[in-house]
Chains A and B, each alone.
Chain A
Amino acid sequence: MAQAIRKKRKKGIKVVGTVVIFIMIAVVFVTYVFPIFWMGVTALKTKVQIFDPKPTIIFKPTINNFKVFLGTAESGEVGAGRAGAATSFIGAMGRSILMTSCVTLLSLILGTMAAYILSRYKMAAKEDLMFVILSTRMLPPIVVLVPISLLFTNLGLKDTFLGFLLLYTMFNMAFSVWIMKSFFDDVPFSFEEAAMCDGYTRLRAFLKVVLPMVKPGLAATAIFCSILVWNEFLFAIVIGTRKWVFMPPTIYTMSYGSEGVIWGVLAASSLIYIIPVVVFVYLVRKNLLRGITFGVIRG
C-alpha cells in the first residue's frame, strides 16, 4: 500500500489528491445516503421481509406501507394508530407545510430587519442584546415545555395557528438574527452610500442593493428555519392536540402499535415526509453560493 502511494506520488501529488478526495467523498456520501436508501428499501418491504435475519436488497416490493399511511389499507397491527382517511395525512402534511412556510417567512422578515439594524446602527449595549437573542437557544427546549404548555393553555394559544406561529418564530429568531447579521456585516456600507448618492432613500437602498447581496444568507437562514420547524416534534405533540396536528406526531401515532414499531409504515411515512424539504433545499441551493456576490469591492 505504502509503495503504491509512493509510486503515485512520483506521478504527481495531484493524482493522489484526487483519489483521496474521491474516497473521502464516497465515504461521506455512503454514510449519509445509506440510511435514506435503507429507509426506502424498508418502506417497500412486508413485515416478514423487514424482520428477515438475512436482509436482502432484491425482493418483491409492496406499496402496502404507503397505503396504510395514506389511510387506504389496514396495517393489521394491534393498537396501531390509524390515519382513518387520506384527509388525516393530507391535513397533517398541509398544516406542516403551511406552518413551516409562515414561520420561515416571518423569521426571515423579522430576523433580517433586526440583523440589519444591529449591523448598521450604533446603539447602546448592542453586544448584550445580541447575547440575549442568542440565549433563547441556550436552554434545552424540553425544560420550558411544561411552562409554555401551561402558558399557552391560559392564553388560549394552545392548539392554535397563532400559538405555533409565535412559538416557532421565537425559536428561529436567534438563528436568523445571528446568521443575517454576519452577512450584513460583510456588505460594506459604501454600497448603501453609493445608492444614496444615486438618489435612493435608505430603505430603497436596502431593498435594491443590500438585500440582493445577502441572498446567500437569506437562503441559508430559510433552510435552517424551515428544517427546524418541519422536524419539530416535542411541542407539536404536546401543544397540537386536536386541530393543529403536524406531520411528526402523525407519523408517530401511525407507526407505533402495542407490539412496537411498525417499521414499514414508519419508513414509508418518513420517506414521504422528507420530500418537501428536499425539494425546498434543491430550489434554493444555488443561492447558497457566496462566491458570486462577494469580493467585488477592491482594496
Chain B
Amino acid sequence: MSMIRLVNMTKRFGKTVAVKNANLEIEKGEFVVFLGPSGCGKTTTLRCIAGLEDPEEGEVYIDEELVNDLPTLDRDVGFVFQHYALFPHMTAYQNISFPLRAMKQKKSDIEKEVMRVAELLRIKDILQLKPSHLSGGDLQSVALARALVIKPKVFLLDEPLSTLDAEFREEARTMIKKIHLEIGSTTIYVTHDQMEAMAIADRIVTMNLGEIQQIETPEYIYHNPVNMFVANFLGSPGMNFIECSLKNSNTLKLGLDGKELKVNDAIVKKIRAVGKEKSMVMGVRPEDIKLNPKKDANGFDMEVTIVEELGPENIVNLRSGEHILKVLTEPDVLLKTGETVWAVPDKDRIRIFDPQTQKEIL
C-alpha cells in the first residue's frame, strides 16, 4: 500500500515541460526528499501532489485514491511553504489554529490541538505574537505547526530551511527529522541542498530538467549513482570525471595528457560488454582518491593548485593541463601549491559512464 503514487505525470507551463513523465511511489510513513538544482521540477511535482498545480497528463494518487480532480482543501495535505506564508494579521496561535477553524471544531478541541503541536515544536511562549515579531526560526516552527496541526495524511515541505541562517538550519533539520520519527507522517521534503537530503531522507528522489533520475536511499544513491548528473550533484565536492579510453586489458588511457591508470578486470569486462572501449568517462569521488607524494604505479601525477582547508578535511585541487581534480584529504596532509603528487584512485570505487547517454556502464 503506497501513500503517494504518481503515474506518468507530466506538467507543462506553456511550452516548457516542468515535470516529464514522473513515476513515483512513496510508502506510508516514509521520509522522501526531492533533490535537484533549481528549475528541475521538484517543487512543481510537490505542488501537483498538493493540488496547487494540475498536471496535464498522468495520475496522482494519495492513499490509493485518485486525486487529480480533488481540490487542495480535500486532499488532506499539510504544506509548508518556502517563505512560510504565515498570515501577518494573525497571531501565531491564530495561524496554527487556522486549519482547525476551517473544520469548525470546538474551541476547547482547537486549543488542545494547538497546544499539542506547540509543545512538539517548543513554541508555547510565542503563541500570542504576530509573525512580524518572530525570528526566522520561530516563523519556521509556526509554519510547521500550522501544517502539522490537522495531522495530515501527507506532509509536504517546500525548501523549508532555505531562508534560515546557517546556524539555525542544522538545528531545524534535526527538529524536522525528530518530528517525523515521533509522529511517523508520510513526508516529502524538497531541497536543492544535497547535504540536507543525505542527512534526513529515507529515500532521495533526484531530479534534473523535469525528469526523475534516481530514487534510492541516500547511502545507495551516493555510491551507485545511475548517471553523471546524480554522481556530480550528490557529494560536496561532486564526483570527478575524467574522459578515458581502454588501452589494453588492464589499463585506461586518461584524457589527462595521455596519463594512464591500471584498473580491475571487472571494469574492463563491463566496458567490453557494451563496446565502449574508445570513449568513456571515468568517475571517482574526491574521498576515494589517495595522494602519494612519491611516484606510484597505481596512480598518475598531478600538480597541486589550491588547498581549501575546511577544518576536519581539506579539499585539494589538482591540475593537469586544463583538467581539475578535487580530492578530499585528512587535514594533516600538508601540500604546497606547485607540488607534484600522485593521485591514486580506489580501484573498487571507480565508476564508468557513457559520455553519450551520461548513464553508468554497469
A-side residues, CB < 8 A to B, are 188, 190-191, 193-201, 204, 208-209, 212-213, 215, 292-299
Q: A194-B79, A296-B131, A298-B163 are in contact. Are A199 and B85 (CB under 8 A)?
A: no
Our pick among B73, B77, B89, B136 for the contact of A200 (Cβ within 8 Å) is: B73
Contacting A at CB under 8 A, from B54-101, are: 71-73, 77-79, 81-89, 98-99
Our pick among A190, A200, A204 for the contact of B83 (Cβ within 8 Å) is: A190
B-side residues, CB < 8 A to A, are 50-52, 71-73, 77-79, 81-89, 98-99, 102-103, 131-132, 136, 139, 146-147, 150, 162-163
Please give, as numbers and ranges, the residues of chain A lying within 8 Å of B82 by CB-CB distance: 299
In the complex, A196 Cα to B51 Cα: how many Å?
9
Which of chain A's residues has its CB closest to B162's CB? A299
Q: A188-B83, A196-B52, A299-B163 are in contact. Are A212 and B89 (CB under 8 A)?
A: yes
Our pick among B79, B89, B132 for the contact of A213 (Cβ within 8 Å) is: B89
Our pick among A190, A191, A196, A212 for the contact of B73 (Cβ within 8 Å) is: A196
Q: Are B85 and A194 in contact (CB under 8 A)?
A: yes
Our pick among A199, A212, A295, A298 for the contact of B84 (Cβ within 8 Å) is: A298
In the complex, A298 Cα to B84 Cα: how many Å?
8
In the complex, A200 Cα to B87 Cα: how many Å?
14
Q: Are B81 and A198 in contact (CB under 8 A)?
A: no
CB distance from A169 to the nearest CB of B (A): 28
Which of chain A's residues has its CB closest to B52's CB? A193
Our pick among A197, A199, A213 for the contact of B50 (Cβ within 8 Å) is: A197
Which of chain B's residues has its CB closest to A195's CB? B98
Q: A190-B81, A296-B131, A296-B132 are in contact. Are A198 and B89 (CB under 8 A)?
A: no
Which of chain B's residues has its CB closest to A199's CB? B102
9 nearest interchain CB pairs? Answer: A198-B99, A199-B102, A296-B88, A194-B85, A197-B79, A190-B85, A196-B72, A299-B83, A297-B83
CB distance from A194 to the nearest CB of B (A): 4
Please give, as numbers and ranges, the residues of chain B lying within 8 Å of A193 by CB-CB distance: 52, 72, 79, 81, 85
Q: A296-B88, A296-B132, A299-B163 are in contact. Are A197 and B77 (CB under 8 A)?
A: yes
Please give, as numbers and ranges, the residues of chain B lying within 8 Å of A191 by CB-CB distance: 85, 87
Please give, as numbers and ranges, the residues of chain A lying within 8 Å of B71 by CB-CB distance: 196, 201
CB distance from A286 to the nearest CB of B (A): 13
Our pick among B50, B86, B89 for the contact of A293 (Cβ within 8 Å) is: B89
CB distance from B41 to the nearest CB of A (A): 18
In the complex, A293 Cα to B50 Cα: how many Å?
27
Q: Are A293 and B88 in contact (CB under 8 A)?
A: yes
Beyond A195-B87, A292-B132, A298-B163, list 5 extra A-B contacts (CB 8 Å): A190-B81, A190-B85, A199-B73, A213-B88, A296-B132
In the complex, A273 Cα to B77 Cα: how many Å?
56
CB distance from B120 to the nearest CB of A (A): 18
CB distance from A78 to the nearest CB of B (A): 60
Please give, as numbers and ranges, the residues of chain B lying within 8 Å of A201 by CB-CB distance: 71, 73
